[in-house]
Amino acid sequence: MSTSTTSDKPTSVWGSHESQPPVPDGAVSVTVKLLRFNPEVDSEPHWQSFEVPALPTDRVLNLLHYVKWYLDGTLTFRRSCAHGICGSDAMQINGINRLACKVLIKDLLAKKGKPTTITLAPIKGLPVNKDLLVDMEPFFEAFRAVKPYLITYGNEPTRERIQSAADRERFDDTTKCILCACCTSSCPVYWNDGSYFGPAAIVNAHRFIFDSRDEGAEERLDILNDAEGVWRCRTTFNCTDACPRGIEVTKAIQEVKRALLFKRV
């Protein structure tokens, strides 16, 4: 497999045909179109394409590994667990925010054996450090601002804090968040220069606001009542579509709005 790149770099610098693993049976060649950006060289991002052998059962992350290990070692992206739990490898896959470790190639293949191009770009709205790697600090800053930890006053109970199954059910959905930023970086309000908290921060506030053991709901609701809080949500449902954990993000935001509106959790 060789690269068809827009840069002048020969493939052999980073990997040669000899160093590549044998192409497995049933593999098809797909074009991986990446939005590259090297802050030390480039003034702005540019597209680069690689031809990569892929099995239908491969995930997009396998293609990224192939590019990095055999074609161009300078490709930069984040991934840790590679199994949809750590939330490191959120990126735009064919323009939609997804985790690269959860999207299968068979779902992206063009119909009737036509050539397949898979477009990969960093998530929007956060500063790009290099290639697919973005600076997550603004995202985590908003997350920390909603106090995403248990707040209690008074004496601690002798044993555990008991909660009924029904009370647990109220915030069950929002406990699933893995902080991958798929939702926040899909939100058109978050893309602008303002400092909107973003869906993920509201989801994590929701997780504690509706927890019967927590006593900090008032503080968090006050924070989210701010000009940059829940009222900037336009219910476009991009966040709900983007969430790799299937959290009903927009519904959670609406529940926070309702709690503010009726002053009742």
Binding residues (CB under 8 A) for another protein: these are 153-154, 188-189, 192-194, 215, 218-219, 222-223, 225-227, 229, 231-232, 257, 260-261
CB closer to another protein out of 172 and 218: 218
CB closer to another protein out of 111 and 264: 264
| CB 162, min distance to another protein, A | 18
Contact yes or no for 92/181 (Cβ under 8 A)? no
| CB 183, min distance to another protein, A | 18
DSSP string, 63-105: HHHHIIIII-TT-----SSSSSSS---EEEETTEEEETTT-BG
Residue (of 2, 52, 49) closest to 28 by Cα position: 52
| CB 121, min distance to another protein, A | 21
CB closer to another protein out of 115 and 157: 157
CB closer to another protein out of 246 and 262: 262
| CB 188, min distance to another protein, A | 8
Radius of gyration in angstroms for the set of CA atoms belonging to the chain, rounded to a whole number: 22
* Token pair 């869906």 in the structure block, residue: 199
Residue (of 134, 124, 143, 122) closest to 200 by Cα position: 143
